[in-house]
Amino acid sequence: MTGNAPERIGARTTLQKLLSRFHFGITLFAVALSGLTILLAGVSALRGYADRNMELAAQLGAYGVEPALVFNDPQAAREGLEPLTRIPGIARLRVLNDVGQPLTQWTSPVADPAPLLTRIFFPRPFAVAVKRNGSAIGTIEVWGDSSTLIDYVRIGLLAGLGCLLITAFGTIFLARRFEYELVKPLNEIATVAHDVRLHRRFDKRVQPLGIAELDRLGGDINALLDELQGWQGTMESERAMLAHRASHDTLTAMPNRDSFDEQLARRIAAAETRGARFALLFIDADNFKAANDSFGHAAGDAVLVALSGCIKDTLRKGDFAARIGGDEFVVIVDPLDTETVPDDLAKSIRACVAQPVLLPGGETYRASVSVGAAVYPDDGSDATALLTAADAAMYADKLSNRSRV
């Protein structure tokens, strides 16, 4: 069943093709109907014209043969018919006396060019009674042929064909215009929906289309996109906030242990690739537990915030610092060049930390820290070795601080 799905999808038509077929059918029907109407009107008008010509010819012949019928003179009758024999479109003439006997007749020596046309327009002869003093003295019969009609039929067919072509082209043009005016706005709506679905372009909007129903649809879509854009902004803000919380310490707003581990692995890989060096500082507050127990947890938090501020102030553009434990901090000094000495950075941090910290209770506290440094790759070529070396150096610094005290 699923194997036939692509075939069904490929067999679907577009709205423009559907409208084109529909308009083509309407155009074909309209052209055929108008052509039939023109043909019937032309045939009717031409039939009336032919009947009128035959009637006039018969009346003219009646005037010419009236004396011949009075004297029953066939020669005079032929002479009376002579003017009619020179009129195009007359195939045969016959004069009958008052008892229906033929007095004379004439047949055109020219062959009928279109016998079918003759049978349509002149199925029977046109007869006119010849009267004298109100009494019928004979009859004249006139048969027509298609010699005069064929040119009119040819011209009429060409004119009718021209009208049909103009009608067809005009109808097709108007149909194409209608398709464009309808399909183009629908394509714009479809484009917006496509961008939103595939590319999450919630900033896209349907522009005014000039069609009331489609403008109402576009307005509803825009309103829905406004809501979706608002939801997207809220979700992105929440996601960013959650990501920040997951990677940062809530108290000091510094990166946490997970961020540090990721950053250290990245720095090691980059340094190995380009053959560079960097330093890792391990910082630990001295006697922090005693300060925390003496002044309270709020005071301890204030000391940690002050300590993190001092660390941040010493960072250069490419350096990285994080809080990885309760009172433990690390700093990645990268790049490590000849002008950058880890001990100088440690001294700057110690000097900053030594400044009095105002505690929430109004007291002041002077903190101190122990700092240990390790250099990649001199002291270790992986994260564990570097941390171990830096931690060992920090404890050595802590012991020296106690011995000085």
Q: Which pair of tokens denotes residue 202?
A: 């919630």
Is-cis flag, bond preceding 335, omega within 30? yes
Q: Which pair of tokens denotes residue 281?
A: 């500082």
Buried b (16+ CB within 10 A) or exposed e, 371-388: bbbbbbbebbeebeebbe
Find, among 198, 201, 217, the residue nearest to 209 by Cα.
217
> Sheet of 278-285: strands edge to edge?
320-323, 328-333, 278-285, 369-376
Residue 327 falls in the annotated catalytic set: yes
DSSP alpha helix (H) spans, 248-341: 257-274, 288-295, 297-314
Q: Which residues contact 2 (CB under 8 A, 6 or more apart)?
A: none
CA 305 to each of CA 170, 247, 250, 324, 357: distance values in angstroms, whole numbers, following the listed order: 82, 17, 11, 14, 10
Find, among 288, 405, 400, 285, the residue nearest to 350 by Cα.
285
Q: What is the DSSP letter of 141?
A: E
Where is 305: in which H helix or E strand? helix 297-314
Q: Which of 327, 334, 337, 344 is catalytic?
A: 327
Find, among 367, 404, 358, 395, the residue nearest to 286 by Cα.
367
For the beta carbon of residue 177, count every other beta carbon within 10 angstroms.
10
Residues carrying an active site annotation: 327
